[in-house]
A and B are shown apart, each in its own frame.
Chain A
Amino acid sequence: MVTQLKTDILVIGGGIAGAFAAYKARQSGARVLLVDRSYFGRSGCSALASGVYPSYMPGDSVDDWIKGLGAGPLVNQALLVKSLPVMYEHLMTMDRWGVKWLKEGREIVRLGAPGRTFKNGAWMAEGGPQMMMAVRAGVMESGVEVLNRVAVTQLLTSDGKLPTEGRVVGAVGFHVRSGEIYAIQAKATVMCTGPYKFPYPWPGSTLGYMPVDLSGDGIAMMLSAGAQLSRLELGGINLNPDNLLCAPGLESLMPSGAKFVDKNGRRFLEDYDPKRMEMTSRALLYFAIAHQKELGNIPSMDLREITPERMELLRRVIPIVISSYEGLGLDVTKESVPYSYQVAGTAGIFGAGARVTESGNTTIPGLFAGGTCTDLAYLPGGHLPFCSVTGHWAGDTAGAYVAKAELTPLLPRQLEQAVQAIKAPLERRDGPAYGPVHRRLGELMMQKVGLVLHAQRLQEALSELLDLRENEISRLEARDHHELAKVWGLMHYTQVLEATLRAYLYRTESRVAFIREDFPIIDNVNWVKMVIVQRQGAALKLWDEPLPESFHLIPVRPTQNLHLVFRRKEPSHAPR
C-alpha cells in the first residue's frame, strides 16, 4: 500500500536550512510539504547547536567578517558577503518567532565566537532545542505542511532513470515506525538534509558525534540521481570530547575562557596562532587539536578559568554539552576534558555535497539544495547562518520555478522498483545483521582513514569498502522499520563515502585539514580548483574545474608551501 501525496514544493530535511527553505518557498504562495526522517524541530544538527548564531549586524565591518572567517582560496568569498545582510534578516525573523536570544533590555547581546576579532555572536538563551522548536512553530504558522518520521530513500525522475537525463519529479520514502510508504509528487524538490559522517558512532570511537544519524542520505540520493557533487574531499575533521557524543560547543566555550592544553598543561595554540590562540579560525583550531592528538600530546579543554557566573550562562546556552560533562562525572572546576577528532565526513570545516549555484540550483532541473548537503556552505564557526541563508535562497528559487512548472505523473515502473527496494531488507532471511557490519565498516574507517592520508591506505580502504558494500551491506537484513531506516542510512553512507575516498585520491595536494602524506604541499598554483564527482552509468566520474575569479575578494597568491604538519615532527616548545 503506497500513500500518494502531491505538493508544489517538497522540502526534505527539517534543520535550519530546511526550515528557511520551506518558509521562503511558502511565501511565494506555493504549497509546501516538509518531510523529516525524525521530528521537525528536534532532528539533525541545528537543534543541537553550539549555542551561538554568529550573525552579521548592521554597522559591522564586512572586511572584519571576511578576514575573521579565515576564508581561504577555496571559499566563495563574494557569496559570503552577499549572505551577511540575510543572516541579520533571519536573526530578526527568529526573534519574532520566539527564539530566546540573550538580551539586555530589548537588544540582542553579542558575545564572541572563535575566528572573529570582534563580538558577533547572538547567543541562544535556552540553547538549540528552544531555538529550533520556535523556528518550527514559525514555519508551520506560515502554512508549511509537515510529515515527520518519514525516511526518504530515493528521488523520482521524469524519465524513470537514475541517473536521470530528465528532471526530478518527487521522492519516495517510508514511515520509520508504521512502515507506510509515501510517494510524493512535487513540482520542485529542495534537499536540505545536512552533512554526513559515520552513522551511529560509539562513544570513544574516532567517528563522529551527535546527531548520530547523519548518514548522508540526501547527498547519496542526489548522487544517484546524477547530480554533480563537489568539495567532498574538503569536508574536514570534527572535534568532540572523548567518550561523549555531545558536540564540542566551541562557539560559546572559547569566548568564555576555555583553553586547549596538552598533557603538560601547555597552551599549544601558541605554536599555531600565538596572536589569537583559542580564538583562532575554526579550521586552524580543528587542525591544531588533531595534530596534537597525532603527536601523542593528549589535547584537552581546560574550563577552570571560566567564572561561575559564565558557567551558569553556559548551562542555558549549551545545555546538552554541560549536562553531558556532568553526566560523565567530569568536574570541570578541577579537571580538563580530553578531546578527540573524527574523520571521513562533511560535518567539520567545509560544507560539501551537491554542486549548486548561488540560487540553490543543482545540476538537475527540478532539484534544489541548501545548507550543508551542498558545496555552498562555508562552515568554520558559522554553520547556522550559512545554512539558513542558503536554505532561504534555495526556497526562493524553488518558489519561482514552480510558478512555471507542472506536476509530472510518477512513472509506475520506477515507483514499483523503489517500493521493492525499500522493503527488500525486511524480506531477506539469509542476509547479515546490521550491528556487526556497521561495526566492521566503522573499524575500517578508523584504521585506514585518519588525519594524515596516503594513497596506499586510501586505495585499501576503498577496495575494502566496495567489497563490504557488495557482499554485506547490499544484503543487510532489517528486523523492523526502525532498523530499516538505519540500513538505508548505511547504504547511503557507503555511496557518499566511496565518492569521498575517490575525491581524497583525486586531490594531490594538502590543504587545511585535508592532509596527504604523499602530497604534502599546499598548492595554490595547481589546486585552486574544485573536484567534481558525478555518477555516470554505474561508475563515478571525477574531474576538476578552476574556481571562478569572481569568488575571490582576497587575491590568491600562487604559492606552494609545505603543510604545517610536515614542517616539524614535534612542537617547537616541546618540554625538554
Chain B
Amino acid sequence: MPRVEVNKTACTGCGVCVETCPTDVLRLDPENKAIMAYAEDCQGCFVCQWDCSYEAIRVRIR
C-alpha cells in the first residue's frame, strides 16, 4: 500500500497537506507534525509531496 513519510525535522506544521489531501488521510499530531492518521486510505497520488513547501514529505508506493 502507498504511504506518506514525513521528515519531522523539516515539517513546520503549516497544515497544507492536511487541508488538501484528497482522501483525508493526514492530520497534525500533538507536536504539530503531519502524520498518517488513516494510512489505509492513502491512494499514493503524491499531492501532499508536491504541495509541501518544505520538502518534508515523501510518498512511497511500496
Contacts and interface: CB of A to CB of B under 8 A. Distances in A.
Given A129-B50, A200-B41, A38 B22 contact: yes
Interface of A: 38-39, 41-44, 47-48, 129, 149, 176-177, 200, 202-203, 210-213, 244-246, 319-320, 323-324, 327-329, 435, 482, 485-486
Interface in B10-31: 19-24
A246 B23 contact: no
A319 B47 CA distance: 10
Given A129-B50, A324-B61, A327-B61, A482 B43 contact: no
Interface in B27-62: 37-38, 40-41, 43-47, 50, 59-62
B60 to A, nearest CB: 7
Task: Give chain B's interface secondary structure class.
Answer: loop
Contacts of A210: 43-45
Contacts of B24: 38, 149, 176-177, 482, 485
Nearest to A39: B20
A213 B40 CA distance: 12
Given A44-B22, A211-B22, 5 more contacts: A38-B23, A39-B19, A39-B22, A245-B2, A323-B59
B47 to A, nearest CB: 6
A320 B46 contact: yes
A292 B50 CA distance: 36
The 6 A-B pairs of least Cβ separation, nearest first, read A327-B61, A210-B43, A212-B43, A42-B22, A42-B20, A39-B20
Contacts of A211: 22-23, 43, 45
Nearest to A435: B40
Contacts of A202: 1
29 contacts: A39-B19, A39-B20, A39-B21, A42-B20, A43-B22, A44-B22, A210-B43, A210-B44, A210-B45, A211-B22, A211-B23, A211-B43, A212-B43, A213-B23, A244-B44, A245-B2, A245-B44, A319-B46, A320-B46, A323-B59, A324-B46, A324-B61, A327-B2, A327-B44, A327-B62, A329-B62, A482-B37, A485-B24, A486-B41
A323 B43 CA distance: 13
Contacts of B22: 38-39, 42-44, 47, 211, 213
A212 B62 contact: no
B38 to A, nearest CB: 6
B46 A323 contact: yes
A210 B43 CA distance: 6
B20 A41 contact: yes
Given A43-B22, A327-B60, A203 B1 contact: yes
A213 B60 CA distance: 20
Contacts of A327: 2, 44, 59-62
Nearest to B19: A39
B44 A324 contact: yes
A177 B37 CA distance: 12
A48 B45 contact: yes
A320 B47 CA distance: 8
A154 B26 CA distance: 27
B22 to A, nearest CB: 5
A48 B46 CA distance: 10
A41 B47 CA distance: 11
Contacts of B61: 244, 324, 327-328
A10 to B, nearest CB: 22
Nearest to A201: B43
A397 B35 CA distance: 43
B51 to A, nearest CB: 8
